[in-house]
Amino acid sequence: MQSAANLVMPIPGLIDPVPVPRAVTPRADGRTDLLGLSRPQIKAVLEEAGLDVKAAKLRAKQLFHWLYHRGETDFEAMTDLAKPMRGWMAERFVVGRPAVVEAQVSNDGTRKWLLRSDDGQDYEMVFIPDADRGTLCVSSQVGCTLNCRFCHTGTMRLVRNLTPGEIVGQVMLARDALGEWPKGNMGSNVAVQDDEDEDAPQYSPDGRMLTNIVMMGMGEPLYNFEHVRDALKVVMDGDGLALSRRRITLSTSGVIPMMARASEEIGVNLAVSLHAVTKEVRDELVPLNKKYGIEELLQACADYPKASNARRITFEYVMIRNKNDSDDDARELVRLLRKYKLPAKVNLIPFNPWPGSDYECSTPDRIRAFSSIVFEGGISAPVRTPRGRDIMAACGQLKSASEKKSRAELDRLAAEKQAALG
């Protein structure tokens, strides 16, 4: 019998196939991109290129420091490597960054980047600055298979998983743009900011404005588990980007078989896209509910090994007018969370509109009333302030600009996905 760790996690339905790890597209110049590789992986490619074991171990440690602690992309700037070694490296390797198709800045300071992979696939990332933190919303897939009806990304087909390098690359690019590398070193690819960024806050490289990461961009992270895990291990490594696991949150729509494994192998904070408290409504909003129901999902949350009063599970709840925002819905939410004795916080998210959406945002008074009922039930229920709406960077709005389909085509794709989910 296979162990749980070895089981392949299928995606529900027959329309979108299981995304499998893809081989990185070879560069035309034959060089290997080191971005996203761990120290053992860097050591392995150095050995493959001809270094002996001892030399490869030393150079891997040096390269890891330059790549992830200093943000350097130019081997000539890696001063603790002998000059001949720098040339040897440059002939065989490269330290890349995602290609920036478009960089936008919202009226509220939120930034959104449209990125393009070497094989021509587009995906997005968003940076949200606040007074006491800066949060990077990172994508894990090109497109999405889940078809959540309130989410713009859900109208896309799943194209493929992002690689560890493409996931880590989003963090590296954000640090480049914010000038956050030690001693102001921003790598050799700092020209990602456009003219609109001139009035943006100039953060000190001695501070860390990029303080938090949320895996809440395009895609379902637990359907790209291995790549997300490997990328986050690089991000959390104390000798590199050194972001604490307590400052990283992984969001899932409820891929139950992978949740415990995520706790064991990644160990970051968990956020669950709940969005409804009845089967009928959640089946509509989050079709994955037809495979893994609310009660089963909440039990998996109760069993989540890292959950505690100090590390509460966050439940995301988008507020949709006359759909999931009644007083009865709020009371049922409290009942469910109490039933499973969950250390929980509920983020109430005003619905963010997008072209062709069938839903409207709950009124401010209705959201306040809903929040009050949940708070009175002893559960924190803050209302999230929408950020980046004017550049389509808010929660549920991310979608590749290159993905343009008619409404009829979107409806047809949605119907196919719904039918496949049963």
Query: Would you name the residues annotated as active-site residues?
Result: 124, 395
| pTM recorded for the entire structure | 0.81
Position 262: which residue type?
A
User: What pLDDT sits at residue 153?
Assistant: 60
Low-confidence ranges of the chain (pLDDT < 70): 1-25, 148-150, 152-156, 183-208, 386-422
The Cα 260–Cα 4 span in angstroms is 10
**33 strand-pairing partners:** 94
User: What pLDDT sits at residue 88?
Assistant: 96
**Phi, psi dihedral angles at 352 (to 5 degrees):** -100, 115
Instruction: Render pLDDT for 266-318 as a digit per residue (tens, 0 to 9).
Output: 999 999 999 999 999 999 888 889 899 999 999 999 998 777 777 899 999 99
The full DSSP string for 194-249 is -GGGGGS----TTS-S--EEEE-SSS-GGGGHHHHHHHHHHHH-TTTT---GGGEE
Instruction: Say if residue 387 is exposed, middle or buried (CB neighbours under 10 Å; 0-12, 13-18, 19+).
Output: buried
The Cα 265–Cα 344 span in angstroms is 22
- C-alpha triplet 35, 39, 45: angle, nearest 5°: 70
The Cα 225–Cα 164 span in angstroms is 10
Q: Are 371 and 331 in contact (CB under 8 A)?
A: no
How many of the other CB atoms lie within 10 Å of CB of 290?
16
Best CA proximity match to 225, nearest among 266, 170, 254: 266
User: What pLDDT sits at residue 23?
Assistant: 59
The pair of structure tokens assigned to 34 is 């080191």
User: What pLDDT sits at residue 45?
Assistant: 96
DSSP E strands in 221-342: the ranges are 248-252, 269-273, 313-319
Q: What 8-state DSSP symbol labels residue 254?
A: -
User: What pLDDT sits at residue 202?
Assistant: 38
